[in-house]
Amino acid sequence: MDTTMKAFIISTIATSLLLGATSAIAKGEIYTINTEAVPATPSSYVANGVQYQWGLGMDLKLKSFQYQGETLQYNKFRPDRVNTIRVDNANADGWPCAVYAQTAGTAHSYQPTLPPEVQQPDDCSLGLIIAGNTINLGALDVFSNSGPRDYALKNIERVDLIFSNGIIAPENDLATSGHTVMEKNGNNTIQIAAILKLDENGNPAAYGPLVKVNKASFTDTDEIQYGKTNISTFNDFLSNESRAPQGFMVRREALAE
């Protein structure tokens, strides 16, 4: 059964999350994004007797996007810490992980780089993928913790993207700043909030208001939702096991969409 899936990259901008009602641009959907292709870094592993090859093509990087008649640059600087808050449950424990990846033309081969931290069989750092700007590799069903497919279930409660020293920007740029949210097919609702304060240990101590991003084509057009962009890729779905020890990620027929 061929389970390779063509997926459009779906995106939105949530300026109200960071800026409130005084923002010069309103929250809403993004339909046109600009990318650059960067040579990927090859790597491989063997799982269940099958060799998986990564980095055989290009990393597709988000550079900028068109929004309300303007070209807005995407800030590619990663947070200095990404905390994936996991709470073991009846269906998952350890470091379960799932991704989508652009295929490279043959079975079990993929175009993008698999980050070194994610190559570890029992320590899949999904947060690093979430925090990056590569769009032909992405975290999949991050908060899924129930459903019929055991290998799709996880124990993730929250993902914190932390800039320990905050983000410094010229005051005149704040009016056109915001937070972008990207999703493979725009079919998973998510809620996000700005971290306003860190405690003495550097962990979040206060949050801004929750902003809900609804599925693409949500019936209430006054609510923020994903927009279908101009970028599409052919992808495989991969995951490790939901129970520790996880092992390497392997190709799956389907995941909990």
The Cα–Cα gap between 178 and 23 comes to 9
- Identify the domain containing residue 212 by its residue range: 5-252
Token code pair at residue 72: 């807005």
Number of domains in the chain: 1
Non-local (6+) Cβ contacts of 230 within 8 A are 31, 32, 33
Query: In b/e form, how buried is each residue of 34-69, taking b as 16+ CB within 10 angstroms?
Result: bbeeeebeebebebeeeebbbbbbbbbbbeebebee
Nearest-CA neighbor of 238 among 143, 93, 124? 124
Residue 222 lies in a domain: yes
Nearest-CA neighbor of 85 among 195, 166, 186? 195
257 residues of the chain, pLDDT tens digit each: 344 555 555 555 443 333 333 445 557 788 888 999 999 999 999 999 999 999 999 999 999 988 888 888 887 677 888 899 999 999 999 999 999 999 999 999 999 999 887 777 766 778 888 888 899 999 988 998 888 888 889 999 999 999 888 777 777 777 667 778 888 888 888 899 989 899 999 899 999 888 888 888 778 877 888 888 888 889 999 999 999 999 999 999 765 44
Q: 31-61: per-residue pLDDT in tens?
A: 888 999 999 999 999 999 999 999 999 999 9
The Cα–Cα gap between 218 and 210 comes to 18
Nearest-CA neighbor of 143 among 105, 89, 62, 102? 89
Per DSSP, helices labelled H in 154-232 are none
Q: What does the pLDDT read at residue 15?
A: 38
Residue 168 to residues 74, 77, 120, 203: CA-CA distances in angstroms? Answer: 15, 12, 34, 19
Residue 72 lies in a domain: yes
Q: 62-105: per-residue pLDDT in tens?
A: 999 888 888 888 876 778 888 999 999 999 999 999 999 999 99
Residue 146's DSSP bridge partners are none
Single-letter amino acid, residue 210: L
Residue 257 lies in a domain: no
Element (H, E) at 17: helix 15-19
CB 121 within 8 A of CB 245: yes
CB 96 within 8 A of CB 239: yes
Q: What does the pLDDT read at residue 6?
A: 52
Q: What does the pLDDT read at residue 100?
A: 92
Q: What does the pLDDT read at residue 42?
A: 97
Q: What does the pLDDT read at residue 7?
A: 54
pTM: 0.86
Q: What does the pLDDT read at residue 20?
A: 37
The Cα–Cα gap between 256 and 14 comes to 26
